[in-house]
A and B are shown apart, each in its own frame.
Chain A
Amino acid sequence: MAEWEPVVGLEIHVQLKTRTKMFCRCESGFGAEPNTRTCPVCLGHPGTLPVPNAAAVEWTVKLGLALGCEIAGHALFHRKHYSYPDLAKGYQISQYDVPLCANGRFLVPGPDGDREIGIVRAHLEEDAAKNVHVGGAGGRIGGAAHTLVDYNRGGTPLVEIVTQPDLRSADEAKRFLQLLRQTIVELGISDAEMEKGTLRADANVSVRPRGADELRTRTELKNMNSFTYIARGIEAEVARQIEVWDSGGKVVQQTYDYHPETDALTVRRTKEEAEDYRYLPDPDLVPVEPPAELVERLRAEVPEAPGARIRRLEPQLGFELAEGLVASGRDRLYERTPGERRAVANVVMNQLAGAGIDPDAVDGDELGQLVEARDRIPRAAFLEALAHAGDPDFRAERYLAEAAVADVSELEPIVDDVLAAHPDEAAAYRRGKQGLLGFFVGQVMKRTQGKADAKVVNELLREKLSA
């Protein structure tokens, strides 16, 4: 049996969070009552004309720069034609042969070294409206009793990013997407939430014998709305294709939907003939020509790439922790928090994340004090303090003062009281039933409302019980 290598490319759509839509002045409509964010332009009324949203153009250029793309000096908008109720004009305004951003590279560090993923293009287009098919099966227009259309989403700016087929595993695809998402979020241009559909990704998947450089027939995977599902969908499709080739068959170019509940792949109904979009340069729009000064200003605003940050942190923390911090956007807090590096990293990555604290709201110096005191104070008190680390007036000192009942002189009378109150248990312990230590610790904790330093209590109890 041949050893197979997956070959994966991604097509990603990012909904920009500009205040208004791409070609009209309607407010972007996420979450609003259906069809309340519409106007004659985004409803495709006769005679209406598109006027490009300058912020959306700038943000796309910025994203292109973050992806290492060349920015076109003279980009064009095209009309892409197809007939569907979610498309008010019978065409979508998109970009075709001269996109705003092209030929980029995006660094994805991996446990076994760096991978550079080629970016074919990043272009700007308008989103379609949202269809709700009522009645019938399968949520498709065919067979539905009727279809409701919400045009609020119609005309929202959308960036489409297409990668080269440079990804070599499902895991790599997932990690690429996570770093891409982090980049987008840091640029402040989109919430990029897969669950809400503001970040969507389709995968083009093929396999080939390892070591070969051919490209075999690929399939397109859709309907994967989380990072995990993308990885699982690609894995399932790779396994399916390997089985097809190994059993002497041929992979057919088709589009599949991935069903995460069952891990199944189903073929999308194929049309009798390939869709012809009849691309036409939009005569209503003049070419987009971002001035060089603007491009340079935007370039200066692009933060350091996540891949480079992972590489920078890896020597101190190891790959996994470094990637985790960067991919979750916690590395900046990590970097501004003083203290033992691994301890800081672990707190930022685990406990703080567990408490659901926004890392950008946390004062690094205050957090550093907390991390430093972590082993000296009760765990409950530490977690309690951590839960407030994102508060605007958070001071570690206050929590540490309240929490730390580690003073022997304060704890000793309590320990004595507990032992006096439970003479039978004390005797049993002394006879060798050492498991009772926990019982005594519990009693002390109860009397101190959990504020006692467990280490100190343990030491005191052992001392007194062996006396």
Chain B
Amino acid sequence: MGGGLVGATLDTLRLTAEEAMGLLERGEVSRAELRAAYYDAVAARDAELHCYLRLTEDAEGEGVPIALKDVIGTEGVETTAGSRILEGYVPVFDSTVAARCKEAGLSLLGKTNTDEFAMGSSTENSAFGPSRNPWDPTRVPGGSGGGSAAAVAGGLAPWALGSDTGGSIKQPASLCGIVGLRPTYGTVSRYGIVAFASSLDQVGPTTKTVRDCALLYGVIAGRDPCDSTTVDVPPVEVPDAEHLKGLRIGVPRELNEADGIERGVADSVARAIELAEGLGASVEQCSLPRSVEYGLACYYIIAPAEASSNLARYDGVRYGPREAGGSFDEMVERTRDAGFGDEPKRRIMLGAYALSTGYYEAYYGQAQRVRRVIAEEHAALFERYDVLLSPTSPTVAFLIGEKAANPLAMYLSDVLTIPANMAGLPGLSIPCGLSEGLPVGLQLVGPQFSENLLFRTGHALERALGFDYVPERLR
């Protein structure tokens, strides 16, 4: 990519984290100069993009700086999850991923914007206002991790962490023209991550390149005694191969021909498939009929059900703002009414209903069974294919306000990412071209713990595609 020093100033739009690491190691820039370069970019562009909810100018760490999505708990640094109900809440402990970043020397630049409790696909549900897409500030950066994605794409952070429940890392990466990994469920600790839907939430990197993505995944992945659902993770390999010889790619028809996939998106993905064949991969059409037909419906049972439970703790008793009330129940009602925005309220209601006596089996119980079917359907495909390929998002970045009034249209933004998430599988989104001047994302899904394979595949495709991640209007 050849980014780095332009004259005497750092070009943060082009500089990858790996390059920044090299500059630090060789002593070509100091830690302070590097951080200052990003804060200059913040000063120049964040008023427009609104990536950050707060900056942490006195953070420790001698390495490359990093931005963290505001659902990631940080000791001594306010963590709101984009919600009024956590306004002023300052954790007394670091989430495991924040602690691992610190141990690796990564210094915190700030906390990035998110849809409230990570519920959304555009950051328009943030209680603190939406972020904007660096490619076109009239458009959304995707969500919920739109703040992290816009910060990386806009040169306001070398890399960032997000969290992905239904697509909150992959979809914003797609809409902002960068790389995003949703890791295998259980490979990255959820300890200290403000919970949305516990059986789906996973933290992962948002970066400019696949190599950066592998480097950052290596920092955060691994078993954590504080999270019983984590497992041991195979050593992470930073990819360098540039061919795909022997790789068997499956192209699920339902994920590539779904209603609502824009023509420009389909065309970019088709070109990427041709390139993959040129790099030596075999490509075959395949089918995931039930995963795609039922995935979204199933997700909108399970995620709200778990959310209604996870959000029960926000009652104003121990932390966060509290509204006065004449009784305990009234105090809690008023606090929650004032603290939660429409989307969390909507999901709490959906979820509480789905878990009610008499409905549990018909909704949550049934959705869990469908989830197993989805996992089995994917597992069967991985007997024939190494990687499944599709668009990440059916559309390029949409206009701010375009879908805000229609929750169902918004939910459909995640229709292509949700099936793999329901199956607990890792998915990598890389940019594969432009449609009407806006980035298109390519989703690569592999079997559990196949992150290294996804990195190799993504890296080879990235080199072949030669996509320029610097937004055209900022070049």
Q: How far is the CA of A44 from the CA of B89 in the complex (A)?
A: 13
- Give the residue name and chain of the A residue nearest to B83 (CB): A46
Are B328 and A46 within 8 A (Cβ)?
Answer: no
- The reply on A342 being an interface residue by CB < 8 A is no
Interface centre among B89, B191, B317, B352 (most CB of A within 10 A): B317
Segment at the interface with B among A101-109, A257-265, A281-289: A281-289
Are B92 and A284 within 8 A (Cβ)?
Answer: no
Contact of A89 among B93, B191, B228, B312 (CB under 8 A): B312
Within 8 A of B (CB), among A79-95: 79, 81, 83-85, 88-91
- The reply on B355 being an interface residue by CB < 8 A is yes
1/0 contact string of B87-122 vs chain A (CB within 8 Å): 001011101000000000000000000000000000
- The reply on B462 being an interface residue by CB < 8 A is no
Q: How many residues on the B side are at the interface (Cβ–Cβ under 8 A)? A: 45
CB within 8 Å for A90 and B309 given contacts A49-B228, A280-B355:
yes
CB within 8 Å for A280 and B364 given contacts A44-B318, A47-B191, A50-B228:
yes
1/0 contact string of A27-48 vs chain B (CB within 8 Å): 0000000000000100111111
Which B residues lie within 8 Å of A149 (CB)?
317
Are B92 and A81 within 8 A (Cβ)?
Answer: no
Q: How far is the CA of A83 from the CA of B331 in the complex (A)?
A: 12
Which A residues lie within 8 Å of B327 (CB)?
141-142
Query: How many Å from the CB of B353 to the closest CB on chain A?
Result: 9
Query: How many Å from the CB of B448 to the closest CB on chain A?
Result: 15
- The reply on A278 being an interface residue by CB < 8 A is yes
Are B309 and A44 within 8 A (Cβ)?
Answer: no
Segment at the interface with A among B19-27, B194-202, B380-388: B194-202
Are B317 and A89 within 8 A (Cβ)?
Answer: no
- The reply on B86 being an interface residue by CB < 8 A is yes
Which B residues lie within 8 Å of A279 (CB)?
355, 360
Are B194 and A46 within 8 A (Cβ)?
Answer: yes
Which A residues lie within 8 Å of B228 (CB)?
49-52, 284-286
Q: How far is the CA of A320 from the CA of B88 in the complex (A)?
A: 65
Are B312 and A83 within 8 A (Cβ)?
Answer: yes
> Chain B binding site: helix, strand, loop or mixed by DSSP?
loop
Are A79 and B309 within 8 A (Cβ)?
Answer: yes
Are B191 and A280 within 8 A (Cβ)?
Answer: no
Q: How far is the CA of A278 from the CA of B356 in the complex (A)?
A: 5
Are A49 and B318 within 8 A (Cβ)?
Answer: no
Query: How many Å from the CB of A89 to the closest CB on chain B?
Result: 5
Query: How many Å from the CB of B41 to the closest CB on chain A?
Result: 29
- Give the residue name and chain of the A residue nearest to B308 (CB): A278
Query: How many Å from the CB of A136 to the closest CB on chain B?
Result: 11
Are B315 and A46 within 8 A (Cβ)?
Answer: no
Are A46 and B91 within 8 A (Cβ)?
Answer: yes
Q: How far is the CA of A141 from the CA of B332 in the complex (A)?
A: 14
Query: How many Å from the CB of B330 to the closest CB on chain A?
Result: 11
Interface centre among A47, A147, A276 (most CB of B within 10 A): A47
- The reply on B454 being an interface residue by CB < 8 A is no
Are B226 and A49 within 8 A (Cβ)?
Answer: yes
Q: How far is the CA of A29 from the CA of B390 in the complex (A)?
A: 54
Which A residues lie within 8 Å of B193 (CB)?
47
20 new A-B contacts at CB < 8 Å, known A84-B328, A85-B317, A278-B309:
A43-B318, A45-B318, A45-B319, A46-B73, A46-B91, A46-B194, A46-B313, A49-B190, A49-B227, A49-B228, A52-B228, A88-B313, A90-B313, A276-B356, A278-B355, A279-B355, A280-B355, A280-B364, A286-B228, A286-B229
Enumerate chain A interface residues (CB-CB to B < 8 A).
40, 43-52, 79, 81, 83-85, 88-91, 141-142, 147, 149, 276, 278-280, 283-286
* Between-chain CB contacts (< 8 Å), 18 pairs: A45-B92, A45-B93, A46-B195, A49-B190, A49-B226, A49-B228, A51-B227, A52-B228, A79-B309, A81-B355, A83-B312, A83-B315, A278-B309, A280-B306, A280-B355, A280-B364, A284-B190, A285-B229
